[in-house]
Structure 1
């Protein structure tokens, strides 16, 4: 039952990605389209995607944190070649976060700030395949597996309307605008991974962080499907970790803000979940973030290219008050020392003035 529950939690996450009925601003599932029933909703709080590409084979691993009330829905992902679908490892994303974590540095400041004395008390730190069932012509079922409570189909289609008809005939409520969005993939003869949630228990609702899904297919270029994200009605964000022989970056912004590289560097000895994805040989990790304020402007998939292996790591600073001798603020010593010197100078001037003899009236100084 535990394995079945993990499969259930995995696939439902992928249902929450493309439809305009998202509950909250979502992280873009550029690689798929959510198809829930009409009276249910799923919101995506966070999506993390990791991609490994060795020049021939591409593997996409996705993990989602969701909320909502959906218990019956489906998910579809266009892929350039035939795909294998398995469960991924949650530990992968924690390992990638550690590898790409920003460098931590201290930065000192001289004058006290809020939280430092005398503005506060104390010193602060700063801040199995089967025959196609009836329902639509022009659709081929090249693979079909039952994974616990889910029906996973790998499909071909020569007509997006035929694909939509097949999905509707099998309980998928496919919106017409998604049918139109699939047209470019049909023209390029891509295939599709369709997953239908068929829970063993009625009214199963899943929330929170879900087990990752791992999809592998052949590809002679590194491509991350994004076109279906244009159907979203709220702003989208994409977080993508790329493992490859060299540093990889998108060829264009495809209608969003300019992609930002937050980490780039070579991982000499991958281990654990990273090694099980990318192998135990040296590999280059590139971490990208991108915002799509107007998802309707997305006009293509992300095609990534090799660029110079220039390393980059963000730096996060912790501001600290400059101190010496076990925590004495330097500003206090400086100001206090200046005041002390001024006081000493004044005292010395007074004493010199007192020692100078006073002149009697009518007597001139011979000095």
Structure 2
């Protein structure tokens, strides 16, 4: 009988202890906030720029006065001609000999290193309407900022988390050099040139526009990237101090305060003048890099984006209110950067370029939080 009574006491005590533990475990907090170090490491690679201008393929433009250097640079180095005897020759080599000869210079140039407009004639231009600039693009650099999280707990395991922080200034790196792939055919009314080049002079030049890769940064932007996740936390409140969790949700991105590298901006303004000179029938001035009738300015925009995000992390309870938190997240995030060169005088868009920017950030977070 005594053994039975003792066994009953043990069972009752164990039951009371279990009930107490269950009651304590159920006393989870509804809300929590945390703050800490947020480190963002973009994983995306550069994508080539796609570029188009208002110079349509087949545009005829008067060359006008042009320096001998710019003219020779525009001639296709592989183009062949044929003289009256049927003998083939390299067009660029013959033109170089012509323009270096003192007697021919008196007939073809103004004596100051420029080919006479009546000799230069006109050019039928291709290649500037649209092209893809291989090996170029933009990449976001690593960045650190203050991260903030806010959780609402539906129950002890499931919560909704809002992830934010102070929007950091992000450096954007440029990749590669942009060239304009101009091709075409130049024809001259000069009988002297026409005898040697009855079918015209073939043009083929990769005109340098700007070098993105030799700058420390191509641009800077302010990044706003809030995210919301549904999270599942393993373990129980008041029982397990260390509680791993997994989460999934969406991230929204918006970029402001976009500042383009000043040298790149100047290069694009010069490219705008080049395009306008072609449209004005001043192809020679375009190749010589002279100002045009336009007043170009550069406009840069980025698109907003929504991306999926997944997280893996853990919390460690210091007491019933304070806890530490560490997590790593990944978002499949990309947007589009658009750079336009616009004539302020007419509103015409001289150049339009765009590139996909793969950000794909890997985000680490280490912070301290409070439950209430």
TM-score, normalization: structure 1?
0.17
Instruction: Look at both structures and tell me which one has the larger radius of gyration over its CA atoms.
Output: 2
TM-score normalized with structure 2 length: 0.16
